[in-house]
Every structure is written in structure tokens, then in C-alpha cells.
Amino acid sequence: MGLSKRGDVWWVAFTTPNGERIRRSAGTSDQTAAQEFLDRLKVRYWEEQRLGVKPDRSWQDAAVRWVKETSHKRSHDKDVANLRWLHPFLGHLMLSQVTRDVVEKIGEKKSAQSSPSTANRTLALVRSILRRAKDDWEWVSHIPKVRLYREPKKRICFLSPDEARRLLTELPLHLREMAQLALTTGLRQRNVSYLRWDQVDMSRRVAWIHPDEAKAGRAIGVPLNEDALDVLRRRLGGHREYVFAYQGQPVARCSTRAWKQAVERAGIEAGFRWHDLRHTWASWHVQNGTPLQELMELGGWASYEMVLRYAHLAADHLRGAASRIDGTFLTHKQKPQLVRLS
């Protein structure tokens, strides 16, 4: 009971007036600070259980409740990983101690380690937990404002047909056929990796993604063109359950060293990601006249705004509007100027 040390970090342990056993990290290697943390916890539980004072909840309490209430999220594992990273900064604090200065230091640390966009995802998680603690759980009456970093807008990265052919030639067979299906259907990497035969009806030329497998949480019908069917026909007789498998297992990760080396050998700009195959598919559709509304349905996007980033690739429908002012400035003839002869 009291203080104990694990590695460089002090832990506290005690029994509350109601007999509840408490054991948690003090989040510090300083024994004096750990003792103060223990004393504050004992006073807090005494006031709650003996005097009926509304508890001052800790960040750790909020993080645990958040994990339980959001276990259905597709980003659940990422949230857990982010919370582990946040623990040294927030794990020893009460919610009332999570100030704007504390949050800004977290943002500075994360952006220095990675990028502004990665830091924003971590800060957004902190903001979401604080907002829920205030608005839903009513644990606190005030929370700090969490400012996100400005993220530069990136250009859509996509391949020309010739670049795509070069890349496919360089990829190992198991990745090549997965990439071909991605380029012909626009499916996200996880949906390709874990596509099962019971999701494919080749006679009807359709596949489907169930709601729990789709990023937007809605079922997606995937029409299969002839190129996609060619890929699926070549996969027949392979794995009993999954369309694509390598050494008997689904290919969970596609952005491997083999992928990066193939990108380099194909002469494609470094940094081309597997997800950019989906951008390539969408760009080809728009350039070949597919309306954005149809593209939204084909790609399973949740909103029209998501496909507007491809709109600049389909300016053909505006050519008529642009031609309406053809020759306009020529109709405003300048008056001839008199030239003096010396």
C-alpha cells in the first residue's frame, strides 16, 4: 500500500473509505510528486464517499470510458494507440488540470515527431474526449479550446494508363492482381485484401461490401467490368474463402518494401501510396465522362463533397459555357488614330 516503483515510474495503491482498492500510475519518476498525487487521490475519494462531493474526474477515467463507449468505431485501435501515446502527458492529470497550455505542448510534441496532419488526429481525439466529458457525462463545466494545425491541401495523385501498366509489370503476382482489381473497381485496400468469394457473384457481374466493412458504414454494390472479371477468373481455384491470399493468409499490408521497390523501378514519383490507386480509378472515370454523382455511388463515398476534389479533371462540360464569350473583345473596335506625317 502506498508508493511502489516500476522502472522509472511511481505507482500508487490504497483502499478507499468504501473498501475500493485503487492502483494506478502516478505518471512521474519524482517520488515527491508521486506522494502528492497519492495524497490528492485519497482526499478526493474521502470527499466523494464520505461527504458526497461531486468527484473531480481524471483524464484516465475519461480515456477508459471513451474506449468502452467507442469500441464500435473502425478507428478504435488507432484511438487506443493514440491514448497510449498520450498517457505520459495526461495520464497523471485530473480533467480540470488539462489546460490549453498542456494541450498545445502535446500538439507541438506530436507535430515535431510526425506531421501536422498526424498531430491533428491526436489533438482531435483529445478534443472529442473533453467535449464528451463536458456535454455528455457532465464531469466538467469548462474545457480548453483545442486548436488544430493548418494542413496544406495536397494535389490528387494518380497514374496515367502507361504508368499503371509499368507499375503492374513490376509488382509481384499477388500484389499485381490486387492492384488490378483496385484500379478496375476503386475498392479500398482493406476491402480488396479481405474480399471473400461469398461477396462475389460473377454471373451477375457484381460484388458487394457489407456495411461493417465499408468506411462510410453503408453497404456498397460493386459492378464488375470485364477487366475486374478477368482478375477474378484467374483467382478461381485458389484460397477457399478469400479471393486474394499469400501463403494461405489475406494480404493485410500492401504498402510493403516490395510495393515501394516496384514503384521505384516503374519510374513513378516516390511516395505513391496504395490508396492512390483509388484516386487513379476515380480520376480515370472523371476524365472519361463519368458524372460526379455516379462516381460517388460507385466509390461508396458518404457525401458529394468527397468527390468534388476530382471535379477539376472534368472541365469538358463547361466548354460550352466558356465559348459564350468567344470573340467578345473583338466586337469592341478601337477608333482609328490619326497619324501625322512630318
Domain residues for the domain of 111 are 59-135
Give the C-alpha distances (Å, rounded to integers) separating 56 from 25, 69, 97, 140, 258: 17, 20, 10, 8, 52
Residue ending a domain, choose from 16, 31, 51: 51
State residue 103's pLDDT score. Answer: 96
Task: Give the pLDDT score at 303.
Answer: 85
pLDDT at 255: 83
CA gap 282, 292 in Å, rounded: 9
Residue 329 lies in a domain: no
Does 183 fall in a domain?
A: yes
Tell whether 78 and 203 lie within a shared domain. Answer: no
The per-residue pLDDT for 117 is 86
Q: Tell me, what's the pLDDT at 154?
A: 67
The whole-number pLDDT of residue 1 equals 65
- Domain membership of residue 26 (yes or no) is yes
Q: Kindly state whether residues 170 and 291 are assigned to the same domain.
A: yes
Show which residues are catalytic.
188, 215, 275, 278, 301, 310
**How many domains is the chain partitioned into structurally?**
3
What's residue 301's pLDDT? 87
Residue at 333 is within a domain:
no
Same-domain pairing of 208 and 87? no
Digitized pLDDT (tens) for each residue of the chain, 342 residues in all? 689 999 999 999 999 998 999 999 998 999 999 999 999 889 888 888 888 776 778 999 999 999 999 988 878 889 999 999 999 999 999 999 999 999 999 999 999 998 888 999 999 999 999 999 999 998 988 899 999 988 766 677 899 999 999 999 999 998 999 999 999 999 999 999 999 999 999 999 999 999 888 887 888 999 999 999 999 999 999 999 999 999 899 998 888 899 999 999 999 988 899 999 999 999 999 888 888 899 999 998 888 888 888 887 776 656 666 666 676 666 555 556 665 665
Whole-number pLDDT of residue 49 = 83
Does 71 lie in the same domain as 33?
A: no
Q: Are residues 111 and 165 in the same domain?
A: no
Same-domain pairing of 15 and 47: yes
